[in-house]
Amino acid sequence: MSTNPLRLFATRLLAWFDRHGRHDLPWQHPRNAYRVWLSETMLQQTQVAVVVPYFVRFVAAMPDIATLAAAPLDDVLALWSGLGYYSRARRLQETARICMRDHAGELPRDFDALLALPGIGRSTAGAVLALAHGLPHPILDGNVRRVLCRHRGIHGWPGSAATQKSLWKIAEQELPATRIADYTQALMDLGATVCTPARPDCATCPLRTDCIGLRDGTVDRLPERRPSKSLPEREVHALVVRDRDGRVLLQRRPPVGVWASLWSLPETQTVDEARFWLQRLADADAFEALPMIRHTFSHFRLRIHPLLWRDARMREAIGDTGDLRWQAADRLVEVALPAPVRRLLEELR
């Protein structure tokens, strides 16, 4: 706990939060462990404005751990579709099933037991315990890292082990003795609304009087960026196969790798492979090459070359039980599709 009376870090932050903090986020009413965990998982690498409608839709369909654990994976992924980083959704369900089996259908209140669950790291575990139960555990999400780096003048990329160690030590030191849940939310809110990545509003920040970044003129340079590295590029050809009813042919992706277990368009490496793949299944006229799509992942850049076949006539019926299925163009929301594939198909409508 912070013992320096001159800093009053938490006191100033809580006073600001009472007047300017966010008090109407959907996961705050009610603020239980399941809703906090779900929101924190969705908010990883995703902004609040994007997450809110997904969260509302998700909890309406799956209001508790038991429902999530029992749901078909396709339903979970469909609700997640568009948020990206789909491993988060798969780990959510895996954790829900472990909780049903080992923790009486609840997220454990013990930090180590919570940390042992799939997809729950130190910051998420701290957020669940602090926000849902008021227990004194720090968090270190992107917003909090930015606030602490600027306020304490911490240099170095926040993802490095040394910088992480320093930030966790500060986060633990500044925990107040009371109002842990409000303090935790206040830190996140300050980073999201005042101490923003670009054009921070330092004039209204409650911590400005002893902010080292503001004093030294380094606010715009903190936190330091990750050392740059060149990303490799990959190319694929995506088969957009439509029948006379306007349905599109989808293929289930493998259970591991990029977009694991999602429905997507069949892919090949070359145009000739695309023709051969389709000729085995259907009679189809000449294809139309559509504009290339670029999509960037954390570890590579993907260039997608869509090839459109219209009025394809399958030689055998395709049901919905295997790795191939027809999907009506006006019912794409029912399946989990990668974001660039969904945008392409929506545009073709």
**Largest pairwise CA distance in the chain:** 78
Q: How would DSSP label each residue in 13-66?
A: HHHHHHHHS----GGGTT--HHHHHHHHHHHTTS-HHHHHHHHHHHHHH--SHH
What is the 3 state secondary structure string of 79-129? HHCCCCCCHHHHHHHHHHHHHHHHCCCCCCCCHHHHHCCCCCCHHHHHHHH
Residue count of the chain: 349
The C-alpha atoms of residue 111 and residue 139 are separated, in whole angstroms, by: 12
Of 141, 155, 139, which Cα lies nearest the Cα of 222? 155
Degrees to nearest 5, angle at CA 179 with 176 and 183: 70
* 8 Å CB contact between 221 and 58: no
Handedness of CA 250, 255, 258, 261 (dihedral sign): positive
* 8 Å CB contact between 343 and 305: no
DSSP state, residue 164: H
Question: In 10 A of CB 254, how many CB atoms?
Answer: 10
DSSP state, residue 219: G
The C-alpha atoms of residue 48 and residue 59 are separated, in whole angstroms, by: 16
DSSP state, residue 81: T
The C-alpha atoms of residue 343 and residue 304 are separated, in whole angstroms, by: 13
40 is catalytic: yes
Residue 287 φ then ψ, to 5°: -90, 165
Degrees to nearest 5, angle at CA 70 with 51 and 61: 35
Which positions are catalytic? 40
